A and B are shown apart, each in its own frame.
Chain A
Amino acid sequence: MTVEEFWLLVVLGAPLVTALLLLFLRGRLGHLSGWVACLGASLPLIGAFALLPALRRGIVPALHFAWIPAAHIELGLHLDWLAFPFMLTEAAVTLLAILYAQGYHRVDSRTPYFYALLLIFSMGMAGTTLADTLFLFYTFWELMLVASCILILIWGDGEQRGTVALKYFIFTHVGSLLVLVSFILLFQTAGSDRFSALEQVGRGLSPDLVRTLIAFFLVGFCVKMAIFPLHLWLPDAHTVAPMPVTIMLAAAMLSMGTYGILRFPMTIFPPEQVAYFSVPMMVVGIVSEIYGALMALAEDDVKRIIAYSSVSQMGYVLFGLGTMTHNGLIGATLHVVYHAIVKALLFMVIGLVIRATGKRSISALGGLGEAMPLTAVCAGIGVLAIAGAPPLCIFDSEWMIFAGGFDTEHMALAVLAVLGSLLTVAYALWFMARIFFGPRPEGLPVNRLPWAMVVPTVLLTVLALVEGLFPAPLFAWVSEELTLILGGGLR
């Protein structure tokens, strides 16, 4: 076994082993279960960075096992430049979310299960990005759904959690089924479920079938991205889920949809066939961007405001993907990473506010800036970042996405996307002003916050600033993916 293969197994195996350990030693670990989970979540992140030198040398770490030889089904893992940013984001978000959970989650007898499920959820996402075969991809794709659904069902807030979990499951599963149909069709044609085999087959299919498959893939993955009007699961799921799960859903799981679009329709099929969907993707992206922002303005629940913000932000991503240009695709991928940082930050801030005050309605909050200055600073930076203010990170990705828009023939759409971003500024500032400025409602308590919740929040704030100021390394990594998608013609 080579070093790269070892780290590949660590990325995927460490969460699983840790989860099993937590389940096995559940009675004995007690308060330590969170820290054990942290350790388990930190290994994939270390693994991601350990694999980076190999990628830079042009090596694609891979691992294949024959599983059902008669049916030509393999279990294959690999890490290429397309998967790397997503895997890194997922690993980092998981670690921070579990760290945050130390302060958020009240320890009881079920705590080891909570952390074990978080790790399995994380393994689902890691497996989705590392999979090199359709079978494995779909297995991990469904694993992350099942794990997150159980987390919502058991640890969710309120009486409605069962209904919400069901709704979340049905919606995302319908999307998954569309993806599954496409997978089966491709598998039948190719006779193998390896991604490399699909690329050759994709170019030989009839145009009508290719368009149908692309449409299925896009709809299926757009459900996961929570693009309007397929987003209905997201506000409820994000609101009801416990905060660490919300963070992982919003910051990491949404990005899996983008990864799916880049990995399948944009990699397998001929660029001219994918280009057929360019304008619809841009239009739907803009609609989602504007609609999500409007809904965020209309909401009263702080968690729902940021949840709708995700709908809006994923609209930017879809717009960037739809441009099918060098700048647009780099921008979309960067936006996924930066959105993860900022969205995790904003949800952590909300968690701090809810923990301190016990309130979730924005109309019941106000004037917290003086009582929670550090949280206010973190929120301010998060809000400015989501509003696309330079030199914070989302500015960089928005710049590239809009530049991609202007690189197409549809300048009016690009102008619309730029103007639509003003609504993002509006809801972001409104959110900040309502919570942290103005008079503080009488009797609004401000309780002490645990450091385990504050530290990851501050870390993400610093990261939003640092990534904004020094985006070059991530740019370099992300631009490498262009050799793999749309025939490599955009590099």
Chain B
Amino acid sequence: MDIELLLGGLIILPFLMGCVLLVGNRWLHAPLVHSLTSVAVGCAGLSALVLLPHVGQEVPWVLTWLPEAGPMSLSLGATGLYAACVTTWAAFLVLTAVRDEGVPPLSRAILLVALAAANVAFLADHFLGRYVALEIVGLCIALAPLVELRGTEGARLTRIIYLILRIGDAGFLSGILLLWHVGGTLAISPALDAGKSMEMSALFWTVAGFLLAVWVKVGAWPFHLWLYPARKLSLPSRIWLYGLLMPNLGLYLLYRVTPLLTVSVLLREGAFWLGAACTGTAMLLAVSRREIKASLLYLNAAQGGLALFVAASGEGYVVWLGLLLMTPLRLLLFLASDLATGALTALRRRLVAALLGLGGLLLTAWGILVVWWMQAMDVPLVALWIVEIAVALMGIWGVRTLVQFLSEASVPAMTVEPARAHGLVSYVLGAVLLVGGLGFRPLMPYLVAASGAHLPDIPSLLTLVVHALSSPTFSLVSISAAVIYGLSWRWRFLQMVNGEGLYGPENSLVAVARAVYRAIESNLLDRGLVGFARSIMTSARSFSYIESNILERGLLGIVRSIMASARSLSRIVEEGGLEGMLRIAIRGVETVSGILQRWHTGRLRYNLVWVVAFLVLALLFLLRGW
């Protein structure tokens, strides 16, 4: 099929449909809007699929927008096309899962425009094109709360989100312009090649700019604040626009700039540590949060950190693979978490718990695979341990979530019963991921052959399991977690026993329990473990505290202090300082003029004094000259 037609389906069709919805939003009914959106996104997804065999072919579309920036074009590179394909299909699945929620048609228009812009960003072969596309996606994301929530809150959220996203764009822009300065071109591959020969200071600024952009887009700490408002939005905006689209674009950007990270040892080391620290912190926060949607936010951030850790090793294709694999996985977790809050029957609850558990397990498996790959690289050992701990925490998160949702008491209050399609899409996606996970190794060669990606060797499932079991860090964290859970069960049991004061045949059991309890009390190892676990949890909670109090309040304080300083600056400089000085100067001139004027035109004696003084001065001058 014609490439131009397919690209039209992938980019122009969603954009045009978005424009149609934008213009006709007052006249179109919500079900029709939903159907039109689904059809446009479905066509885009099909176009992406059909485009896959055309990888590497030339795109005839060339556009010169800013003449100095050179011609912009798209490229059908495998990595970009696969990323676009996965992201577009994720959008389609989300739209299939959701029923018409009565959201404004403008919300769907935003989604479609964002999809078109995102596909341009994935395929753009020119930094300017990619920047503009990312800016449009950012604008769409920021506008979503305004359209869906309206009023003061919507406007406030839009402002905050757009401002935070623009921080990342400022970094991206700096990086691009530095590369342009060095390479003289904005075509991505030549510019990145030229960037490798940059001076150290310029390289530092460039990489810092790109990392800032990635950091903001993947929603890593502390820039995840832009993701918070997503919880108030409709399902497609929440899951796809916020949860998947922007983080995917961030990850893809990271994949593209990976070659620059490895040029300098210093930058590489920094990226390793930054990635490890982000993964570890985010996972601690994810484990400490009981609310599933909040913990998913941190899980997303942890994936971003992990990707940065991988990118520092120079394995760009692993970052790209992570994007491909994590997109459906994150989609599953988001969909399941939504199902969980509305699950009515016990059976459904168990199914949802299984889906969440499966998600956690697959995340952990991916983490173990990454660690296994990274072991072969020149990675700082302590940073690798931190990542291993974070991966183990992913497993713990999965188990804890499974247990939490299996337990009837901890199920949150039912809100709205989800659509039947929501459940169906989630179960099918779960099944596909399970099969894909089990068949990962045999499937990988096909992906590698189709995309031309250079991936490290794929180990067997057994090798990974053996690696996980034999890794001291994994074992330590897992055993600690098991012991902590075990102890907590035992304590709960003993509290119940002591509190209820059982009699009769149970006395013997009580005695045994008390003996065990005393043994535990006197067991320093157990106490130490408990203390250690508590300290971890406390530190995690303190991170939460930092998160919800210090960081947010700090940001608020910064904003307030900027406003206050601006106002006081205005008072001091505008009203007091410069104008005040000016006023004083004018008054001074006026006073002196007044005095001089009085002396000149006032009473006769002043005039005479003035004349006499001048005569004396003239006389002195003449005498001296003489």
- Chain A residues proximal to chain B, CB less than 8 Å: 229, 232, 235, 291, 294-295, 297-299, 326-327, 330, 384, 387, 389-391, 395-396, 399-400, 402-403, 405-407, 411, 414-415, 418-419, 421-422, 425-426, 429-430, 432-433, 437-439, 469, 471-472, 475-476, 479
Q: How far is the CA of A341 from the CA of B565 in the complex (A)?
A: 31
Does B553 reach chain A (CB closer than 8 Å)?
A: no
Q: Is the CB of B566 within 8 A of A327?
A: no
Q: Give the Cβ gap from A328 to chain B, nearest Cβ, in Å.
A: 11
Q: Is the CB of A437 within 8 A of B152?
A: yes
**Nearest B residue to A171, CB-CB:** B582
**Nearest B residue to A390, CB-CB:** B132
Q: Is the CB of A298 within 8 A of B163?
A: no
- Chain B residues proximal to chain A, CB less than 8 Å: 64-69, 128, 131-132, 135-136, 139, 146, 150-152, 154-156, 158-159, 162-163, 166-167, 170, 173-174, 177-178, 180-181, 201-202, 205, 209, 562-563, 565-567, 569-570, 573-574, 578-579, 582
Other-chain residue from A421, A469, A472 in contact with B67 (beta carbon distance below 8 A): A472
Q: Is the CB of A298 within 8 A of B569?
A: yes
Compute the total of residue contacts between A and B using a CB distance below 8 Å. Answer: 117
Evaluate whether A396 and B66 lie within 8 angstroms (CB atoms) in the complex, with A425-B163, A429-B158 already known: yes
Other-chain residue from B155, B158, B170 in contact with A421 (beta carbon distance below 8 A): B170
Give 9 nearest A-B pairs by CB, closest first: A437-B155, A438-B152, A298-B566, A433-B155, A294-B566, A406-B177, A390-B132, A298-B567, A429-B159
Residues of A near B569 (CB, < 8 A) are 291, 294-295, 298
Other-chain residue from B64, B131, B209, B566 in contact with A390 (beta carbon distance below 8 A): B131
Chief secondary structure at chain B's binding surface: helix
27 residue pairs bridging A and B, Cβ less than 8 Å apart: A232-B574, A295-B566, A295-B570, A298-B566, A298-B570, A326-B68, A387-B166, A389-B135, A391-B132, A395-B132, A399-B128, A400-B66, A402-B174, A406-B174, A406-B180, A411-B178, A414-B177, A422-B166, A425-B166, A429-B159, A430-B159, A433-B158, A433-B159, A437-B155, A438-B152, A439-B152, A471-B67
Residues of B near A432 (CB, < 8 A) are 155
Residues of A near B151 (CB, < 8 A) are 437-439
Other-chain residue from B163, B170, B180, B582 in contact with A429 (beta carbon distance below 8 A): B163
Q: Is the CB of B158 within 8 A of A389?
A: no
Q: Is the CB of B163 within 8 A of A389?
A: no
Q: How far is the CA of A476 from the CA of B567 in the complex (A)?
A: 42
Q: How far is the CA of A476 from the CA of B64 in the complex (A)?
A: 13
Residues of B near A430 (CB, < 8 A) are 159
Q: Is the CB of A403 within 8 A of B177?
A: yes
Q: Is the CB of A235 within 8 A of B159?
A: no
Residues of A near B170 (CB, < 8 A) are 418-419, 421-422
Q: How far is the CA of A432 from the CA of B578 in the complex (A)?
A: 30
Q: How far is the CA of A230 from the CA of B173 in the complex (A)?
A: 31
Q: Is the CB of A299 within 8 A of B570?
A: yes
Residues of B near A395 (CB, < 8 A) are 132
Q: Is the CB of A471 within 8 A of B158?
A: no
Q: Is the CB of A422 within 8 A of B68?
A: no
Other-chain residue from B66, B158, B181 in contact with A399 (beta carbon distance below 8 A): B66
Q: Give the Cβ gap from A340 to chain B, nearest Cβ, in Å.
A: 19
Evaluate whether A295 and B574 lie within 8 angstroms (CB atoms) in the complex, with A429-B159, A430-B159 already known: yes
Residues of A near B68 (CB, < 8 A) are 326-327, 330, 400, 403, 475, 479
Q: How far is the CA of A476 from the CA of B152 in the complex (A)?
A: 44
Q: How far is the CA of A475 from the CA of B166 in the complex (A)?
A: 26
Residues of B near A235 (CB, < 8 A) are 574
Q: Is the CB of B178 within 8 A of A406?
A: yes
Q: Is the CB of B152 within 8 A of A422?
A: no
Other-chain residue from A415, A419, A437 in contact with B154 (beta carbon distance below 8 A): A437
Q: Give the Cβ gap from A160 to chain B, nearest Cβ, in Å.
A: 13
Q: Is the CB of B566 within 8 A of A438?
A: no
Q: Is the CB of B177 within 8 A of A422?
A: no
Beyond the given A390-B136, A411-B178, A438-B151, could you list 16 further A-B residue pairs with CB under 8 A, ordered by the A residue number? A232-B582, A294-B566, A294-B569, A391-B65, A403-B181, A411-B205, A415-B205, A418-B173, A418-B174, A421-B170, A432-B155, A437-B150, A471-B66, A472-B67, A476-B67, A479-B67
Q: Is the CB of B570 within 8 A of A471?
A: no
Q: How far is the CA of A389 from the CA of B166 in the complex (A)?
A: 9
Residues of A near B177 (CB, < 8 A) are 402-403, 405-406, 414
Residues of A near B567 (CB, < 8 A) are 298
Q: Is the CB of B163 within 8 A of A422?
A: yes
Evaluate whether A406 and B181 lie within 8 angstroms (CB atoms) in the complex, with A232-B582, A415-B205 already known: yes
Residues of B near A421 (CB, < 8 A) are 170
Q: Give the Cβ gap from A460 to chain B, nearest Cβ, in Å.
A: 21
Q: Give the Cβ gap from B49 to chain A, nearest Cβ, in Å.
A: 29
Q: How far is the CA of A113 from the CA of B131 in the complex (A)?
A: 50
Q: Give the Cβ gap from A175 to chain B, nearest Cβ, in Å.
A: 14
Q: How far is the CA of A426 from the CA of B570 in the complex (A)?
A: 17
Q: How far is the CA of A457 from the CA of B202 in the complex (A)?
A: 43
Residues of B near A391 (CB, < 8 A) are 65, 132
Other-chain residue from B136, B167, B202 in contact with A422 (beta carbon distance below 8 A): B167
Residues of B near A389 (CB, < 8 A) are 135, 139
Q: How far is the CA of A267 from the CA of B209 in the complex (A)?
A: 36
Residues of A near B155 (CB, < 8 A) are 432-433, 437-438
Q: Is the CB of B146 within 8 A of A475?
A: no
Residues of B near A415 (CB, < 8 A) are 174, 205, 209
Q: How far is the CA of A235 from the CA of B139 in the complex (A)?
A: 31
Residues of A near B132 (CB, < 8 A) are 390-391, 395
**Nearest B residue to A384, CB-CB:** B139
Q: Give the Cβ gap from A419 to chain B, nearest Cβ, in Å.
A: 6
Q: How far is the CA of A235 from the CA of B131 in the complex (A)?
A: 35
Q: Is the CB of A426 within 8 A of B156?
A: no
Q: Give the Cβ gap from B130 to chain A, nearest Cβ, in Å.
A: 11
Residues of A near B69 (CB, < 8 A) are 399
**Nearest B residue to A331, CB-CB:** B68
Residues of B near A384 (CB, < 8 A) are 139
Residues of B near A402 (CB, < 8 A) are 173-174, 177
Q: How far is the CA of A330 from the CA of B573 in the complex (A)?
A: 33
**Nearest A residue to B150, CB-CB:** A437
Evaluate whether A297 and B566 lie within 8 angstroms (CB atoms) in the complex, with A399-B66, A414-B174 already known: yes
Residues of B near A299 (CB, < 8 A) are 570
Residues of B near A295 (CB, < 8 A) are 566, 569-570, 574
Residues of B near A229 (CB, < 8 A) are 573, 578
Q: How far is the CA of A479 from the CA of B67 in the complex (A)?
A: 10
Q: Is the CB of B66 within 8 A of A426?
A: no
Other-chain residue from B135, B156, B158, B579 in contact with A232 (beta carbon distance below 8 A): B579
**Nearest B residue to A229, CB-CB:** B578
**Nearest A residue to B133, CB-CB:** A390
**Nearest A residue to B180, CB-CB:** A403
Q: How far is the CA of A469 from the CA of B64 in the complex (A)?
A: 11
Residues of B near A425 (CB, < 8 A) are 162-163, 166
Q: How far is the CA of A387 from the CA of B166 in the complex (A)?
A: 10
Q: Give the Cβ gap from A281 to chain B, nearest Cβ, in Å.
A: 19
Residues of A near B158 (CB, < 8 A) are 429, 433
Q: Give the Cβ gap from A490 to chain B, nearest Cβ, in Å.
A: 12
Residues of B near A291 (CB, < 8 A) are 569
Q: Is the CB of B66 within 8 A of A475?
A: yes
Q: Give the Cβ gap from B65 to chain A, nearest Cβ, in Å.
A: 7
Q: How far is the CA of A400 from the CA of B67 in the complex (A)?
A: 11
Other-chain residue from B64, B67, B163, B173 in contact with A426 (beta carbon distance below 8 A): B163
Evaluate whether A297 and B562 lie within 8 angstroms (CB atoms) in the complex, with A406-B180, A407-B181, A437-B146 already known: yes
Residues of B near A439 (CB, < 8 A) are 151-152
Q: Give the Cβ gap from A276 to chain B, nearest Cβ, in Å.
A: 22
Q: How far is the CA of A407 from the CA of B156 in the complex (A)?
A: 37
Q: How far is the CA of A384 from the CA of B205 in the complex (A)?
A: 27
Q: How far is the CA of A439 from the CA of B131 in the complex (A)?
A: 35
